Amino acid sequence: MTMLYVYGIVDSPRFDRTSLKGHDGADVFAVPCGDCAAVASDLSRRTIAPSPRSVWLHEHVLDTLMRRHAVLPLRFATIVPDAGMLRNRLRPMHRALAGDLRRLRGKIEFALRVTNIHAGWLHAGDAERDGAAAQVLPPGTRYLRAKAERWRERTAGEDAARRIERELRRHLDPVAENAVWALATRSATLTASYLVERKEVSAFVAAVVDARACHPALDVSCTGPWAPYSFVTVRPPEAW
Amino acid sequence: MKVRIGHERNTAIADLLDRALNKGVVLWGEATISLAGVDLVYVGLKVLVSSVETAQRMRSVHASDVALLGRRGA
């Protein structure tokens, strides 16, 4: 059974990249819906494995189209039975899709990752000293002290992360359109998505290099440009 | 051309997975299960299995693919 794999939405009912290949080497084509179109290719199965190769291919199709069009990326593995069902799904979302396309035209996303922010979190000396003293305490007291210590470390870590975020934002925000930051406490990793105008890419990259130079103790990585995954606001009708 | 600053070997693929598997436009809010071999279950718009776990699984299964991508993306 042939299905349609859908990569994204473009701001035109057609595009001229007839040579663009999608999954399994199938031609990528437009499924027009009003004044925009879904970007799709035939898929001879109902599922797709998220291998690095297939996810990169998804991104490659979007990246190619982004050179000429505003593009909204769809989540990987969006598969529909046929064009009719796809249009039925897009129709009630059309106004919201058009709004996002206008807002994101000419903009791309960068990913930022700060991975060693826990270096200043833990006070090992304090922990060892407290640990030795705790041996003589009753079990209940030891439990509560350990719990309090974990809470203190987490709070200190979050405070440190906020400070790091503020410092990095001072470098990056002036050359970006928008940013979303998040802290993964378990892995002590700060991540951010930056929305950047295409004409500001060089300035943004320079700002990242500058930020790294100003904060050599931090392990800051930056990858992109990606399709603006983190900045789409449109939701499916049942989620409204 | 992709920009990579200060990245480790798999940072780019991890950044892409975080986005392509967890973000972007969702056409169906419920039960989007189109990923073969991966227990991705959506309840509403919430992903119960994170892309990081997916990435870790994929790193062991598709190590050769990652190496190939490193060459392609360089």
Q: Which residue type sits at B26?
A: V
DSSP secondary-structure letter at A209?
Answer: H
CB < 8 Å to B35, chain A: 47-50, 76-77
* Extents of the domains making up chain A: 3-105, 109-229
Query: Least CB-CB distance to B12: which of A86, A220, A223?
Result: A223
Tell me which residue range forms the domain holding B35: 11-73
* Per-residue model confidence (pLDDT) at position A154: 75
Each of the 240 residues of chain A gets a pLDDT tens digit; together they read: 789 999 999 998 887 766 899 999 999 999 998 889 999 999 998 888 888 889 999 999 999 999 889 999 999 989 998 999 999 989 999 999 999 999 999 999 999 999 877 654 444 444 445 555 556 788 888 888 888 888 887 777 788 889 999 999 999 999 999 999 998 877 778 999 999 999 999 999 999 999 988 988 888 889 989 999 999 998 877 654
User: What helix, strand, coil percent values describe chain A, rounded to 5?
Assistant: 50, 30, 25
Taking an 8 Å cut-off on Cβ atoms, the answer to whether B21 and A72 are in contact is: no
CA–CA min distance A173, chain B (Å): 17
Name which of A229, A231, A234, A235 to mutate to probe chain B: the one with the most chain B Cβ atoms within 10 A of its Cβ: A229
Taking an 8 Å cut-off on Cβ atoms, the answer to whether A209 and B32 are in contact is: no
Taking an 8 Å cut-off on Cβ atoms, the answer to whether A238 and B23 are in contact is: no
Beta bridge partners, A30, equal: A39
Domain total in chain B = 1
Distance CA A49, CA B63 (A): 15
Taking an 8 Å cut-off on Cβ atoms, the answer to whether A58 and B27 are in contact is: no
Which residue has better confidence, B7 or A191?
Answer: A191
Q: Which CATH class is domain A109-229?
A: alpha beta
Taking an 8 Å cut-off on Cβ atoms, the answer to whether B5 and A235 are in contact is: no
Distance CA A77, CA A199 (A): 31
Q: Could you tell me the end-to-end alpha-carbon distance of chain A, in angstroms, rounded to an integer?
A: 32
* Cβ atoms A7, A31 nearer than 8 A: no
| Nearest C-alpha in B relative to A212 | B6
* Per-residue model confidence (pLDDT) at position B15: 87
User: Helix B11-20 vs helix B63-73: angle between axes, to the nearest 10 degrees?
Assistant: 100
In a domain, B42, yes or no: yes
In a domain, B32, yes or no: yes
In a domain, B2, yes or no: no
pTM for the full predicted model: 0.76
| ipTM, 2 dp | 0.80
* pLDDT tier at B2, thresholds 50, 70, 90: low
Query: Least CB-CB distance to B23: which of A48, A80, A229?
Result: A229
What's the mean per-residue pLDDT of chain B? 54
In a domain, B28, yes or no: yes
CB < 8 Å to A56, chain B: 13, 16, 69, 72-73
CA–CA min distance A155, chain B (Å): 24
In a domain, B4, yes or no: no
| Nearest C-alpha in A relative to B70 | A52
